[in-house]
Amino acid sequence: MRVLGIETSCDETGVALYCSDQGLLAHLVHSQLDVHAEFGGVVPELASRDHVRKTLPLIRGVLAQASLSHGDVDGIAYTCGPGLVGALLVGSAVGRSLAWAWGIPSIGVHHMEGHLLAPLMEQSGLDFPFVALLVSGGHTQLVEVSDVGHYRLLGESLDDAAGEAFDKTAKLLGLPYPGGPELSRLAQNGRPGRFVFPRPMTDRPGLDFSFSGLKTFAINTFSRELSSSELTGEEGGLRADIARAFEDAVVDTLLIKCRRAVRETGIKRLVLAGGVSANRRLRERIHDAMTQEGARAYYPRPEFCTDNGAMIAFAGWYRLRAGQREPLSFSVRSRWPLEDLAPM
């Protein structure tokens, strides 16, 4: 079965073609970085308009890449939530309409389910059940996954998501949008241990997170140290050292909770997914920690950590294969708890 996947929930237009026999046949991602950079963050209306411009050309591009035509597509999957409503409506309207025109089934996909299943697309050896750490711009969740659609929330952020904390702290340090990868790059030059930030909520039981205090900690440290750094010409070094302290605190906090989740559930497989799972230090540290636990960490290739159409095609294939179908009418959801998803 060949499934066309369409992702338009935020600031990336992603389209892909997944084949259940041959794996991923083609995928293209258009990033809206240039559209939003001058505003320092995503402008929803501009995001929707850009998805309108890019979705159909990317679909044509993916079919050309795979040397196939629309007659070779057996189903269409599109992200229908959570995300920006206008942006979601573009991909959903295009996906649902094409499916009707081509006489094939379609399915709306939960964006986080896409992230969560992404490592299964290419990883051999990963099987259910597993614990998933979902870390993106809008979510930080630990989820027990017993099968597709069977999700138990173990813990989540009570305020900012990890990616959001990266982005906000980067902005406070004067880094360009998108902040997460920029901050991480800067942290590579930072001296470890010059500043030590708290590891929020790790001193109490439970698997919830809180990241909003860390950005305040970062900006307070920056303001306090800035005047003396300016005098000595060390401002660049100061930023890098703060970036390093921030990254270490986030990574350590995520790691402590992942270790706890693996111990509490007794499940020895941990999946890392969502944009922040592209973070190199997080991947390395989690890999080492899981090895110590006698467990194994799985993560998608970095290009499938951030938003893409391949994960949507793949998650959609699971549900289409099980006979799930979208009615002719469709709807999108800006908020959508993962646990509300229909089991298969």
Residue ranges binding ligand KG4 (CB under 6 A): 10, 136-138, 163, 166-167, 178-181, 184, 274-276, 278-279, 306-307
Asked if 165 and 212 touch (Cβ cutoff 8 Å), the reply is yes
Q: Which of Zn ion, ligand KG4, none sits in contact with 3, Cβ below 5 to 8 A by type?
A: none
The SS3 call for residue 156 is: strand
Q: What is the DSSP letter of 343?
A: P
Residue 7 interacts with Zn ion (CB under 5 A): yes or no: no
For ligand KG4, which is the closer residue by CB, 19 or 29?
29
| C-alpha angle 83-87-93 in degrees, rounded to nearest 5 | 115
CA 232 to chain centroid? 40
For ligand KG4, which is the closer residue by CB, 17 or 276?
276
Minimum distance, C-beta of residue 285 to ligand KG4, in the bound complex (Å): 13
For Zn ion, which is the closer residue by CB, 113 or 307?
307
Interactions with Zn ion, residue window 293-312 (CB under 5 A): 307
For Zn ion, which is the closer residue by CB, 136 or 157?
136
Q: Which of Zn ion, ligand KG4, none sits in contact with 14, Cβ below 5 to 8 A by type?
A: none
Minimum distance, C-beta of residue 114 to Zn ion, in the bound complex (Å): 8
How far is residue 74's CA from residue 83's CA, in Å, rounded to a whole number?
26
| Size (the chain), residues | 344
Minimum distance, C-beta of residue 64 to ligand KG4, in the bound complex (Å): 25
Q: Which of Zn ion, ligand KG4, none sits in contact with 25, Cβ below 5 to 8 A by type?
A: none
Fill in the per-residue mask, 128 to 147: x = in contact with Zn ion (CB under 5 A), - = not in contact.
--------x-----------
Distances (CA, A) of 217 to 123, 198, 342: 38, 8, 40
How far is residue 245's CA from residue 257's CA, in Å, rounded to a whole number?
19
Residue 169 interacts with Zn ion (CB under 5 A): yes or no: no
Pairing between strand 12-19 and 2-7?
Answer: antiparallel
Minimum distance, C-beta of residue 11 to ligand KG4, in the bound complex (Å): 8
For Zn ion, which is the closer residue by CB, 237 or 337?
337
Distances (CA, A) of 64 to 60, 105, 271, 308, 311: 6, 22, 33, 18, 20
Q: CB within 8 A of 231, min separation 6: which ones?
A: none
Q: Which of Zn ion, ligand KG4, none sits in contact with 309, Cβ below 5 to 8 A by type?
A: none
The SS3 call for residue 136 is: coil
Minimum distance, C-beta of residue 10 to ligand KG4, in the bound complex (Å): 6
Provide the binding-site residues for Zn ion, judged by CB under 5 A: 136, 307
